[in-house]
Structure 1
Amino acid sequence: MEEQDQTQSSVEVEAEAVEQEQEQQRKRLEEDNVVQFLDSLDGYVTLLDSLSSTIRQGWMELASARHSMGASRINGAFLDMKFHSAATTVQVTEHDEQPHFALCKWASSKNGKCCSGEEEFGEDKLQMISDGPQLRHRSQFSGTLGKTPAKNGTPLIVDDQVQKERSKSLSMFGTLVSPKLRAAQLSFETALETLVEIANMRSTMLSTYDQVRKDLEGTKG
C-alpha cells in the first residue's frame, strides 16, 4: 500500500513537471511572437521613414537637373506614352500562407527577361531591424550599386545590360544628361525597392500580430 502511494506520488510529480515545462515553452513562444511583432513594427516604421527621405531626395535631384538642363529638355512632353511591356514588375507568391513580394527590375525590352534578378525580402530581414540607421543606409544606397558579385566573386555580365537599360530610359532627354538626372533615377529606383521591402515587412507584421492576438485569446480562455 505504501509503495503504491509512493508510485502514485512520483507519477503526479512527473506529470506536474511535464506540465510546467509545457507551460514555460508556451510562454517563451508567446514572448518570441511579441518580440517578432515589435521588431517588424519597428522595421515597418523605419522603412517608411527611409522611403520618405529617398523620394524627397529624388525630387530635389530632379529639380536640380531640370534647373541645369532647362525646363524645355526635362518635361512630360518627352515621355513615351505608347503601350509597352513593363521594365519592372512585382511578383507575389505564397509562403506559409503569407504573401511574399519580389521585385524584378529592368527587364530587357527585347527578350523580356529580368536583368537584375529578383530582390527578395523575407522574415530573415527582421535580424536587421534593430539597427535602424544601418537599415536606412542600406536602403538608401542599394540602388547605386554598380556591380553584382557572382558566387565566385566575379561581376555578372548582366550588370552591363542593367546600365544599358537605365541609359536607354534617359535617352529621351538627350544624349548628354545631367548627373543629377541619373542620381534622381537611382533614387526613385531605390524608393521602388523600399516599397517592396515595406510590403514584405507589412505582411510579416500582420502575420505576427494575428499570432499574438491568438495567443492572448488562448490565455484568456
Structure 2
Amino acid sequence: MTESSPAACRELLQENLTSIKKRLDELSLQYLTAMEEYSQQWELCNTDLQQGFIDLAHAKYTMGADKISRFSYDKRMKAQVQVAIESEQEHPFPVLTLKESCLCENDESEVTADGEQANDQSSEKPSGARRRRKLQEETPENESEHTDVQEKEAAAVAKENRKKRSRDPLNWFGFLVSPSLRTSQKHFKTVIDQLVHQVNRIHELDQLEKQYSLLKREKEKLLEQA
C-alpha cells in the first residue's frame, strides 16, 4: 500500500501535466489564429480608410470645395449609430455592438417632411374616404378590414423610408451629390464597423493571454511537486 500510493500520485500528476500541456497548445494555436485575423483586419481597415479619403478628395474636386465643407454641415446633426456594451454568457468579456441611434428620430427635417406629407394626405382625404366608403358598401366586412391593414402597413413603410432619407448626411450637400461622395461614405461606415470588431478582438486576445498565464503557473507548480 505504501509503495502504490506514491506511484498513484505520480501517475495523477503526470495526467494533470499532460492535460495542461494540451490546453496550452490549444490556447497557443487559438491565440495565433486570432492575432493573424487581427492583423488582416487592420490591413482591410487601412485600405477602406485610405480609399474613403481618396473618394472624398475626388468629390471635393468634382463638386467644388465650397460645396463640401464645414459650412454645409447641419448644426442639428446627431449620431446615427451608438456603441452598446453587452455581456454574453459565451464570452467572458463585454462585447461591443453597433446599434442605430434613437437621438436623430426627432430631427426637424423629419418633422417638416412628415408635415408636408400629412398636408398632402389631408387634401386628398375626402376623395379617399369616399372611395373607401364605396368599397366598404360593395365588399364584405373582412375584406374592408384587410384593406385598412394593408394601407396602415404601407403608410408605416413609407414613413420609415422618409426618415432614412432625411437622416442621410449626404442630403446636407444637395440631392445630386457626386458618386465619389457616396462611395466615400460607404468606406467610412465600413471602417466604423471594423473598428468595433477590432476592439472585441483585442478583448479576446487579452482573455486568451490571461488563460495562458494561469495555466502556465499551474504547470510550474506541478513541475515543482514532481
> TM-score when scaled to structure 2?
0.63
- 1:55 is paired with a residue of what secondary structure? helix
CA, structure 1 residues 109+165, in 2 after alignment: closer, same or farther (shift >3 Å)? farther
Look up the SS of the partner of 1:98 in the other structure. coil
Q: Find the counterpart in structure 1 of residue 119 from structure 2.
A: none
Q: Percent identity?
A: 23
Q: Give the corresponding residue for 1:181.
A: 181
Show the counterpart of 2:30: 36
Contact 2:17 2:219 in 1 (8 A): no
Unaligned runs of at least 5 residues, structure 1: 113-156
Q: Which amino acid aligns with 2:81?
A: T
- Check the 8 A contact 1:93/1:99 in 2, yes or no: yes
> Aligned ranges for residues 79-94 of structure 1 at < 5 Å?
79-82=73-76, 85-94=78-87
Residue 17 of structure 1 deviates from its aligned partner by: 5.1
Q: Does 2:187 correspond to 1:194?
A: no
The structure 2 residue matched to 1:110, chosen from 94, 105, 109, is 105
> Which structure would you say has the larger Rg?
2
Tell me, in whole angstroms, the C-alpha distance in 1 between the residues paired with 2:43 and 2:166.
Answer: 26
Tell me the secondary structure at the aligned position of residue 87 of structure 2.
strand
After TM superposition, the runs of 4+ consecutive aligned structure 1 residues lying more than 4 A away are 11-19, 160-163
1:61-140 maps to which residues of 2 (within 5 A)? Answer: 61-82=55-76, 85-95=78-88, 96-105=91-100, 109-110=104-105
Higher normalized contact order (CA 8 Å, seq sep 6+, divided by chain length): 2
* Superposition deviation, residue 102 in structure 1: 0.5
- How many Å separate the matches in 2 of 1:23 and 1:203? 28
Offset of 1:46 from its aligned partner? 1.6
- Structure 1 distance, partners of 2:55, 2:42, is 20
Q: Which residue is equivalent to 1:171?
A: 171
How far did residue 13 of structure 1 move?
6.8
In 2 relative to 1, CA 200–14 (structure 1 residues): closer, same or farther, beyond 3 Å?
same
Question: In 2 relative to 1, CA 67–107 (structure 1 residues): closer, same or farther, beyond 3 Å?
Answer: farther
* 1:119 aligned residue: none
Sort the Cα spacing of 1:186 and 1:195 in 2 relative to 1 into closer, same or farther, 3 A: same
SS of 1:103's equivalent in the other structure is strand
Note the residue ranges of structure 2 that are not aligned, 5 or more in a row: 108-156, 222-226
Aligned length: 169
The amino acid of 1:102's aligned partner reads T
More helix by share: 2
The change in CA–CA distance for 1:180 and 1:163 in structure 2 (over 3 A counts) is farther
Whole-angstrom distance in 1 between the partners of 2:97 and 2:59: 31
Report the TM-score when normalising by structure 1: 0.65
